[in-house]
Amino acid sequence: MNFQKKIDFIDLSRQRQTRNAKGYKLGNLINRNLKKVFEHGQYILGPEIFELEEKLCKFVGAKHCISVSSGTDALLLALMALDIKSGDEVITTPFSFISTAEVISLLGAKPIFVDIDPKTYNINPNGIESKINKKTKAILPVSLYGQTADFKKINDVARDHNIPVIEDAAQSFGAIHNEKRSCNLSEIAATSFFPSKPLGCYGDGGACFTNNDELAKKIRRISLHGQEKRYFHTEIGINGRLDTMQAAILLAKLDFYESEIKKRDFFANYYNKKLNAIGIKTTPYIEPHNRSVYAQYTIQINNRKDFQKKLRDCGIPTAVHYPTILPLQPVYESSNNSNNAESNYKNAYQASKNVISLPFHPYLKKSEVDHIVARIKELIEKESDYII
């Protein structure tokens, strides 16, 4: 097949054209839901907010869902609800987007990094206990690339030390760990509905999940400026509400999401088969007790910059999540975490130099994957050093 058009890394326009079992097009259902919002005019805390929260709870299996303004705010609210403050320490991963550590620092606390498992890219649970001390107030693992961290082991460690666990599930909504959904694996979970996430709205959005009644009340209160009742504020909070239009969009998309997860799994396995056949062995490793939603389809390659350029010249976009580990970000370079970062976080550092994500979404075509793999095959035949 001759590809005249550049392949999209993620194709949200193609998603809008898909139809459900009744033949309704997603784009039309989104438009219908937005029209309802325009008609009732409740753009803040409209009925769609509470309908969405109820459906998200049912999907995840958690008791409480509080929809919020972004995935970053969801993390911030989770930490605030646990009273994380200046001088506290929160254990997390060095291999993630800045928001994971940023929210810890915003509260005056200190992120304490633990290296990753080189196969899953998630925090290595075996490295957590040695970092726990009297200042440790929470553990914040990230479920990266669509696969949950090893919460069974993490929760066991946390329970032994009476420390709460927050799941950063920004990339893993819908994933499964030991027959339980991501966002129902810890004291609090925070997810993101950024447009490129597996379940995304058309702007910023996120949610917190918990089975703890008091924490749920506190998270919602803090998200509404610490407001107990109208104009009665019992604590410092933020403006952290999800807006009604984003909820309306998510309600339409949620009905398609389970089928999209199956399509993500299909195309990930199709990529695996095709790439393995040409000698790429660094395809995603998924633990036997996990199901990933493949927020990204990520492999490792040598000479990444050159590899990316040559794919780009073929009309194939790629992305790198993440090129610089958190301890080496300029904002953290003056902290103790950055000392000997390349050796202290060697797995994360190595991953940051080699990971590359290929075009991936539920509405890919097999012919597009074939085209991408064929171009990669041509590259590695000319330059075998790309292969790790």
Dist. CA 359–CA 369, nearest whole Å: 8
What pLDDT, on the 0 to 100 scale, is given for residue 336?
Answer: 62
Q: What is the pLDDT of residues 249-308, one digit of tens each?
A: 999 999 999 999 999 999 999 999 999 999 999 999 999 999 999 999 999 999 999 999
Q: What is the pLDDT of residues 117-128, one digit of tens each?
A: 999 999 999 999
The average pLDDT across 197-219 equals: 98
What pLDDT, on the 0 to 100 scale, is given for residue 21?
Answer: 86
Q: What are 290's two structure tokens?
A: 């996990």
What pLDDT, on the 0 to 100 scale, is given for residue 23?
Answer: 92
Dist. CA 208–CA 71, nearest whole Å: 9
Q: Are 222 and 347 contained in the same domain?
A: no
Q: What is the pLDDT of residues 136-190, one digit of tens each?
A: 999 999 999 999 999 999 999 999 999 999 999 999 999 999 999 999 999 999 9
Dist. CA 358–CA 10, nearest whole Å: 10
What pLDDT, on the 0 to 100 scale, is given for residue 107?
Answer: 98
Residue 18 counted as domain residue: no
Q: Give the chain's domain count.
A: 2
Residue 5 counted as domain residue: no
Q: Is the dihedral of CA 7, 316, 168, 173 positive or negative?
A: positive
Q: Which of helix, strand or coil describes residue 215?
A: helix
CATH of the domain at 373: 3.90.1150.10
The average pLDDT across 206-219 equals: 98
Q: Are 277 and 139 contained in the same domain?
A: no
Q: What are 230's two structure tokens?
A: 């109208």
Percent of all residues in the chain with a pLDDT value above 70, rounded to a whole number: 98
Q: Are 195 and 144 contained in the same domain?
A: yes
Residue 123 counted as domain residue: yes
Dist. CA 222–CA 236, nearest whole Å: 7
Q: What is the pLDDT of residues 153-168, one digit of tens each?
A: 999 999 999 999 999 9
What pLDDT, on the 0 to 100 scale, is given for residue 3?
Answer: 52
Q: Are 216 and 315 contained in the same domain?
A: no
Q: Are 245 and 331 contained in the same domain?
A: no
**The domain containing residue 32 runs over which residues?**
26-250
Domain end, chosen from 195, 220, 250, is at 250
Q: What are 127's two structure tokens?
A: 């490295």
Cβ atoms < 10 Å from Cβ of 385: 11
Domain end, chosen from 215, 250, 285, is at 250
Q: Are 35 and 94 contained in the same domain?
A: yes
Q: Are 324 and 228 contained in the same domain?
A: no
Residue 54 counted as domain residue: yes
Q: What is the mean pLDDT of the chain?
A: 96
What are the beta bridge partners of residue 91? Answer: 112, 139
The average pLDDT across 20-48 equals: 97
Q: Are 35 and 176 contained in the same domain?
A: yes
Cβ atoms < 10 Å from Cβ of 380: 16
Task: Identify each DSSP E strand in 253-306 by its residue range.
Answer: 290-291, 297-300
Q: Are 152 and 170 contained in the same domain?
A: yes
- Which of 256, 332, 275, 358 shows the shortest CA–CA distance to 25? 256
Dist. CA 33–CA 46, nearest whole Å: 12
CATH of the domain at 131: 3.40.640.10
What pLDDT, on the 0 to 100 scale, is given for residue 281?
Answer: 96
Q: Are 67 and 198 contained in the same domain?
A: yes
Dist. CA 375–CA 369, nearest whole Å: 10
Position 335 confidence tier, pLDDT thresholds 50, 70, 90: confident
Dist. CA 294–CA 300, nearest whole Å: 15
Domain end, chosen from 222, 250, 278, is at 250
Q: Are 228 and 289 contained in the same domain?
A: no
Q: What are 217's two structure tokens?
A: 């009340």
Burial (CB count within 10 angstroms: exposed 0-12, middle 13-18, buried 19+), residue 195? middle
Q: What distance separates the 2 farthest-apart alpha carbons in the chain?
A: 68
What pLDDT, on the 0 to 100 scale, is given for residue 1?
Answer: 44
- Terminus-to-terminus CA distance in the chain, angstroms? 29
Q: What is the pLDDT of residues 55-105, one digit of tens each?
A: 999 999 999 999 999 999 999 999 999 999 999 999 999 999 999 999 999
Residue 323 counted as domain residue: yes
Residue 268 counted as domain residue: yes
Dist. CA 100–CA 329, nearest whole Å: 13
Q: Are 136 and 261 contained in the same domain?
A: no
